[in-house]
Amino acid sequence: MKELYRLLRFARPYTPALLASIILMAIVGASQGLLIKIIPVIFDRVLQPHTSDAPVVLFYFKPLDKRLLLSSIVPPGVHNIWTMVACGILLCFIAKGICDYLGNYLINLVGLSAIMDLRQAVFDHVLRQDAHFFENQTTGRIMSSIMNDAEKIQEAVSTMLADWLRQLFTLIALLIAMISIDWRLSLISLGIFPVVAGLTAKLGRRIRRTTRYAQDRAADLNQILQESITGHTVVKSFGAEDFESNRFRLINRKLRSGNLRYIAQQALASPLIELFGAMTIVLLLTYARIQVKAGTMSAGSFTTFVIALLMVYEPIKRLTGIHNIFQQALGASIRVFEYLDYRQGIVEKLTPERLSKFEEAIRFENVGFSYPTAPDRAVLHNINLDVNYGEVVAIVGPSGAGKSTLAALVPRFYDVTAGAVTLDGKDVRDLRLSTLRDKISIVAQDTFLFNDTIFNNIAYGRPYAREEDVLSAAKTALADEFILTLDKGYQTVIGERGLKLSGGQRQRIAIARALLKDAPILILDEATSQLDTGSERLVQIALAALMQHRTVIVIAHRLSTIRRADKIVVIDAGRIAEAGTHDELMAARGIYQRLHELQHVDAGAEA
């Protein structure tokens, strides 16, 4: 039930519409009850051969012995019993139709709006997670929860909720009508309810588990789809089409199995209710036969009661089916709320400080870092480093030494587990994230571009940038020359992850994006390591333009690209092993000098 209460909280902003829909659906149910009360009059008065034209009592409530006379509200001149009955039937159906339409619309408005807010809340929460979250969660599962699981919930809280209210109030109105006819018969009839409620609860628990299983398999299927399509070149290059097809087939079959179990459990409720209903009707007929022979009940009243009873079974069956669909939605909501409950690794203080400008230094003060999944295994140890304003500081070292992790601490993609990272003496954990990251541009080796136009990709950080500023950034990044050769120029859509462009072209678009952002701090994370010599030369020229008048942290794989750095820091096993200029480090004949020689040997071998 916890999930249900949480879902209802998302409907709280739409309480007026929800209350209005409940009232309207109550009128729909009352209309059904009023129609049932008209039936005895039709059998006992309208269809009798000697029917009087005098005003009559249409509704007779036996337990209270009170009569509702319609003569005071019937229009002048309308006294014929059939005319009154016909008007009553028409009014009931008109009221029922109007209220059903409006109530259904309003409840769907509430349901769709609540799920829209839930989906938005999950997306916003996921988007604000730290880098560690995305390293440990698969894209396919996140997408499946935000889309597929939310879709299941949406079906229940919009379409099914409207039907639930309709059937609930119809059931209540019919029960009241039955009790007003004969309370003893009603008690006999209601004997089925505890059995139905018990079966429904038991089935509901099974359906919730089955739904979670099916939704997990759907997430697995989504993950295979995402990986196989995104990595289609790897799949083809290894001839793994059959392997991926078999993976997909296996999970697809498991998904079918889960859905079939749900269908079997869902379909079981209706025949069971009908069986118990048939047994109840047999008992009623036995009892009513005695009452009619004794003259204590008219045939019209009994006929009306049986009609009402048969009508009652329909909302009971519908409510059981809707309950099962709600259980399915609650099963789907478990994963959605898991993401919503996932504790954010990067949290701002209640009153964070704004970073209005950067003009002094970035400092790493006794910094240590461990990933949450391995808190006992430190990645960085006791890092002390100053990156002064306007300096170019290169970070080099073997693969896995912690270079990228160190740089990621500056924009708070991770938080330090020991020590502090400061900008102008202010701990980054005390700063408002938006103002901190506004001062930093990043160009990484794995450039991500959106499936949008080149213009919009460059302007991503400044969506309202002037056209001349975008064009100027592209020219400075040496991207203008290839952009103008494309059929649609800057309005060319570059495909998913920019795959219509070469690696060097993608990097120059990323550099243009960073130039347009014009942040004072620049992080280059092996920005040229995957480029060929010709592309690297162009990108290096563009990077030189980008680095002017900025404080730059360069994570370098090719040491030849960082000779002119103001400071080179060598990281080894998470510690600063050496620091100095290129000449100083070469003279020291340590790790840097060995790395430099190895790269020269490799370069000679390639030549």
pLDDT in tens, 357-404: 898 899 999 999 988 777 788 889 999 999 999 898 989 888 888 888
Give the integer Cα–Cα distance in Å for 326 and 220.
23
Is pTM beyond 0.85? Reply is no
Give the integer Cα–Cα distance in Å for 315 and 174.
10
In the predicted model, is pLDDT for residue 438 greater than 50? yes
In this predicted model, what pLDDT tens digit does every residue of 278-314 receive, in sequence order?
777 677 677 767 766 776 666 667 777 777 777 777 7
Give the integer Cα–Cα distance in Å for 156 and 152.
7
In the predicted model, is pLDDT for residue 597 greater than 70? yes
Higher per-residue confidence, 95 vs 39: 95
Task: Please name the residue that has the structure tokens 């500081």.
Answer: 393
3 state SS of 35: helix
Complete domains list, the chain, with CATH = 2-341 (1.20.1560.10), 357-439+520-607 (3.40.50.300), 449-518 (3.40.50.300)
In the predicted model, is pLDDT for residue 468 greater than 80? yes
Q: How many CA atoms lie less than 13 Å away from 471 in the CB half-sphere? A: 7
Which of 65-79, 232-246, 377-391 reaches the highest mean pLDDT? 377-391
Q: What number is the average pLDDT over the span 539-560? A: 81
pLDDT bin (cut points 50, 70, 90) of residue 73 is very low
Partners of 361 in the β-ladder? 388
What are 138-142's contacts with CB under 8 Å, separation 24+?
A: 138/223, 139/223, 139/226, 140/219, 140/220, 140/221, 140/222, 140/223, 140/224, 140/225, 140/226, 140/227, 141/219, 141/220, 141/222, 141/223, 141/335, 142/339
In the predicted model, is pLDDT for residue 440 greater than 70? yes
As a whole number of angstroms, the longest Cα–Cα distance in the chain is: 123
pLDDT bin (cut points 50, 70, 90) of residue 45 is low
What are the percentages of helix, strand and coil residues in the chain, rounded to 5? 65, 10, 25
Give the integer Cα–Cα distance in Å for 97 and 113.
24
Give the integer Cα–Cα distance in Å for 392 and 566.
5
Query: Rg (Cα) of the chain, in Å, rounded?
Result: 36
In the predicted model, is pLDDT for residue 74 greater than 60? no
In the predicted model, is pLDDT for residue 30 greater than 80? yes
In the predicted model, is pLDDT for residue 467 greater than 70? yes
Higher per-residue confidence, 192 vs 448: 448
Check residue 430 and give its pLDDT: 92
Check residue 367 and give its pLDDT: 93
Check residue 42 and give its pLDDT: 66
In this predicted model, what pLDDT tens digit does every residue of 314-326 receive, in sequence order?
787 777 777 777 7
Higher per-residue confidence, 462 vs 226: 462
Check residue 499 and give its pLDDT: 76
